Structure 1
Amino acid sequence: MSTYYGRSSKDLQPRSSRKTLSESPPSSPSPTAKTFRHDRVTRTLDSSSDKVLGRSSSYTRRETRLTARNRQENEDHDLGGKDYRKMYEEALQENGQLKVRLQDSKHELVKIRSQLDKVTQRQDRMSERSSSHEAEKREKLSLEKKVSDMEEDLKVLTDLRSENQRLKDENGALIRVISKLSNQTPQ
């Protein structure tokens, strides 16, 4: 594991793609390479002193971002090899299917509610009919009672008529008897 000057091994993860100074080939360094190494060492030392003073250079911020990104990539690969993009696409597909099922369920619910309303209206009509049937039955019973009362009154009336006719006949007979008797009386 390699470390940079002024940094602990906790802050930086090792980079497998970058070669350390000890891994570089044993050729003589070019003047630009020497300058580059020297600049990097001085920048690292300067950044350490800047951190002590509460300042950080853009170089250290960039390095921090890169190490954080590498750390995140390593964590992503270390999490059991899960492909989050694939999982995301599967979740999107499942959400789409669930949305379609939800819409179907909503349409079915609307149909069922309309059917329930129709059945309720039918039952209301049936109950109205049954209540009107009951009212009709009561009215029919009362009418039947009136008819039977009228039939009895009619029987009484016919009896009264027949009795009245009999009385008229008796009255006529009495009138004839009286008139015969009055005609027979001496004058």
Structure 2
Amino acid sequence: MSAELLDVAHPPLKELCFVLHPRLYSGGGDNRAEPLGRTSSYTRRETRLAALNKQEDDTSPRDYKKMYEDALAENDKLKSRLDDSKQELTKIRTQLDKVTQEKQALEKRVTDMEEELKVLTELKSDNQRLKDENGALIRVISKLSK
């Protein structure tokens, strides 16, 4: 069978022949002196895909209503997922804000306690100094009373 006859009579048969004998459909003849380039294989591939697409169009009429309904269903499903994600994001942001506020409150409490600790240390030091002075005054008074 010739390539022209296969083109017209049996497009799927031509595809099979092309797969089995690609040199027959690469411009004819013996191409051993000039290797097939990328563009020619690309062109052949595009031709094959076009033939397959044409064959699909001829054999299976498209149900546009079903395709539309499927697209709507998919859109609704995606919108629902998006809404769920937005709600979850809002919930997580609220939790993050709460945790951030708690962290700030704890940091403030730590700072306040550190200040109290400094004051406590100063008070202990003052208390010890006053005890020492009191002891010294007691000794002076006891010497004066003798």
Instruction: Give the structure-1-normalised TM-score.
Output: 0.44
* Shift, 1:73, TM fit: 6.3
- Compare the two structures and name the one with the higher helix fraction: 2
Q: CA 1:119–1:138 in 2, change beyond 3 Å: closer, same or farther?
A: same
- Per-residue CA deviation, residues 8-41 of structure 1 (Å, 9 max, x unaligned), is 1327xxxxxxxxxxxxxxxxxxxxxxxxxxxxxx
Which of the two has higher C-alpha Rg? 1
The root-mean-square deviation of aligned C-alpha atoms, in Å, is 2.9
Q: Percent identity?
A: 6
Letter in 1 for 2:83: V
- Give 1:162's aligned residue: 145
* 1:66-145 alignment, distance < 5 Å: 68=54, 71-72=56-57, 74-75=59-60, 83-145=66-128
* Shift, 1:86, TM fit: 3.2
Letter in 1 for 2:75: L
Which consecutive segments of 4 or more residues in structure 1 shift more than 2 A? 70-77, 83-87
Once residues 73 and 151 of structure 1 are traced to their aligned partners in structure 2, the CA distance between those partners, rounded to angstroms, is 113
Letter in 2 for 1:132: E
Once residues 74 and 140 of structure 1 are traced to their aligned partners in structure 2, the CA distance between those partners, rounded to angstroms, is 97
Letter in 1 for 2:104: Q
Once residues 96 and 135 of structure 1 are traced to their aligned partners in structure 2, the CA distance between those partners, rounded to angstroms, is 58
Relative contact order higher in (CA < 8 Å, ≥ 6 apart): 1
Letter in 2 for 1:154: L
Letter in 2 for 1:129: D
Once residues 100 and 76 of structure 1 are traced to their aligned partners in structure 2, the CA distance between those partners, rounded to angstroms, is 36
* Shift, 1:112, TM fit: 1.6
Once residues 156 and 76 of structure 1 are traced to their aligned partners in structure 2, the CA distance between those partners, rounded to angstroms, is 117
Once residues 124 and 61 of structure 2 are traced to their aligned partners in structure 1, the CA distance between those partners, rounded to angstroms, is 89
* Shift, 1:154, TM fit: 1.7
* Shift, 1:88, TM fit: 1.8
Instruction: Give the structure-2-normalised TM-score.
Output: 0.55
Q: CA 1:84–1:155 in 2, change beyond 3 Å: closer, same or farther?
A: same
